[in-house]
Structure 1
Amino acid sequence: MNETDEARISVVLVEDHSIFRAGLRESLADDLAVVGEAPDVDAAVRVIGEAQPQIVLLDVHLPGGQGGGGAEVIERSQRSAPNTRFLALSVSDSAEDVVRVIRAGARGYITKSSSAEEVSDAVRRVADDDAVFSPHLAGFVLDAFGAASGETAQADDELDRLTRREQQVLRLIAQGYTYREIAADLFISVKTVETHVSSVLRKLQMSSRHELTAWALARRLL
């Protein structure tokens, strides 16, 4: 691997339809490097363990394994590739499919109706520790995190620790905005956004934007 390849985001494609897989490989942006491919659950687990990619673009319905599809791939790969993040890319937009892969550990879920540019952008955002999902799937993501009505009072108490600006930034993070987009929306600098996010993470005792997004979604803070 040369220096140029090392600067790119490494991706493994897991998709049982070879034609779609080939099209996806060719359409990904130049800053994304496909380092492996797999058509089924068992092959995916093996390739992910060998390649140690930053991101896996993962179909939900896959042959092989114990019949668990994409969720099984995530669960079986967590020990052999602990630093790999998973982004589901599927034709399905059913609640059951979305909830299952999110609970298994996927950082995002987008549908195959997404453009090549949208897919590439989603890969970058997941690599940057964002949680990314197609807008119309937001309700399913809420369900995946099991929001309970009894958490409302606790959420209010936790929100009270945050300043008004920190709450604004929190909500925009949960909606999938990038730091640059948040800065433009709130008329502040990207550096200030980073400072607010760091403060929110510290006050809520979290370690990543992914946790922050999950927390906000579970408490329906959109």
Structure 2
Amino acid sequence: MSEATAGGQADGGADAGAAGDRGGGWGGEGRRVRVVLVDDHRMFRAGVQAEIGRTDETGVEVVGEAGDVDQAMTVIQATRPEVVLLDVHLPGGGGVEVLRRSAPLMTDPEAPVRFLALSVSDAAEDVIGVIRGGARGYVTKTITGTDLVGAIFRVSDGDAVFSPRLAGFVLDAFASTDAPPVDEDMDRLTQREREVLRLIARGYAYKEVAKQLFISVKTVESHVSAVLRKLQLSNRHELTRWATARRLV
């Protein structure tokens, strides 16, 4: 069966702010928001749906889900939800590609589809990339269920939702007229390798990285080996110094 189906958390309060009244949903009496979940980890999608998809309590109705870019477009076009929870790193081109293909839906004057990025990454380039692509907000996967529901309702209303740290990235990026410098070394790395690089450089053990990214320890080891090879580094200590010099930690 295809992962695409129709029908069917330490930022905490800093990510979304007050969630609002619980009676009849976070958005008020009888309010409902239709949501599509886009993430390449099936177990994560199931956990989010279990947390926020209790429609009578939360006011959120999960109407579809997908695990890659093509699946996402099929489900979004079929269901036309108010909000799409979008992971940044997806097979088929990533969240930015979903946003690019969804441009006509986002600008529909009568029923716009709005996007809220939900990612493990808190890297500035990831945040800025999806915001430039048209997402209305960006929260990390450490957000609580209550605050995520609040963020969904706020994005549905047209508000922008960020944690203070991530909002700073966006403000800095849009306040500057200078294009970001090209980093040829970073360009050699895949998106997943960059995620692993940042966590390793912050001192995470391989098991902790695996848990954060929902991958196996063996996969983490493979990514670290690839990063060291591509950057011509010998060990994680050199990797940490390299990442610190580029302010990636």
TM-score tier after normalising by the smaller chain length: 0.5 to 0.7
Q: Distance in 1 between matches of 2:36 and 2:135?
A: 14
Taking a change above 3 Å as real, the CA distance of residues 7 and 139 of structure 1, as seen in their structure-2 partners, is: closer
Q: What SS does the corresponding residue of 2:149 show, helix, strand or coil?
A: helix
Q: Which residue of structure 2 lines up, in the alignment, with residue 115 of structure 1?
A: 144
Gaps of 5+ in 2: 1-6, 8-23, 25-29, 179-249
Q: Which amino acid aligns with 2:132?
A: R
Given that 2:58 and 2:149 are in contact with CA atoms closer than 8 Å, whether structure 1 keeps it comes out as no
Match of 1:100 among 129, 144, 151: 129
RMSD between aligned residues: 2.2
The count of aligned residue pairs is 144
Match of 2:97 among 72, 80, 83: 72
Tell me, yes or no, if structure 1 residue 61 matches structure 2 residue 85.
no
1:7 deviates by: 4.4
- Identity percentage over the alignment? 57
Match of 1:11 among 35, 43, 64: 35
Taking a change above 3 Å as real, the CA distance of residues 19 and 55 of structure 1, as seen in their structure-2 partners, is: same
Tell me, yes or no, if structure 1 residue 47 matches structure 2 residue 71.
no
Q: Distance in 2 between matches of 1:41 and 1:99?
A: 19
Given that 1:16 and 1:63 are in contact with CA atoms closer than 8 Å, whether structure 2 keeps it comes out as yes
1:144 deviates by: 3.7
- The structure, 1 or 2, with the larger RCO (C-alpha pairs under 8 Å, 6+ apart) is 2
1:147 deviates by: 3.9
Q: What SS does the corresponding residue of 1:145 show, helix, strand or coil?
A: helix
Given that 1:103 and 1:144 are in contact with CA atoms closer than 8 Å, whether structure 2 keeps it comes out as no
Match of 1:133 among 135, 141, 162: 162
Q: Which residue of structure 1 lines up, in the alignment, with residue 198 of structure 2?
A: none
Q: Distance in 2 between matches of 1:74 and 1:126?
A: 15
Given that 1:53 and 1:84 are in contact with CA atoms closer than 8 Å, whether structure 2 keeps it comes out as yes
Once superposed, which parts of structure 1, at least 4 consecutive aligned residues long, lie more than 2 Å away?
143-149
Q: Which residue of structure 1 lines up, in the alignment, with residue 172 of structure 2?
A: 143
Q: Which amino acid aligns with 2:88?
A: V
Using the size of structure 2 for normalisation, the TM-score is 0.54
Given that 1:75 and 1:104 are in contact with CA atoms closer than 8 Å, whether structure 2 keeps it comes out as yes
Taking a change above 3 Å as real, the CA distance of residues 143 and 42 of structure 1, as seen in their structure-2 partners, is: farther
Note the alpha carbon deviations across 1:19-51, whole angstroms, 9 max, x for none.
000000010153000011000001101110110
Tell me, yes or no, if structure 1 residue 31 matches structure 2 residue 59.
yes
Q: What SS does the corresponding residue of 1:79 show, helix, strand or coil?
A: helix
Q: Which amino acid aligns with 2:50?
A: E
More helix by share: 1
Q: Distance in 1 between matches of 2:103 and 2:142?
A: 28
1:9 deviates by: 0.3
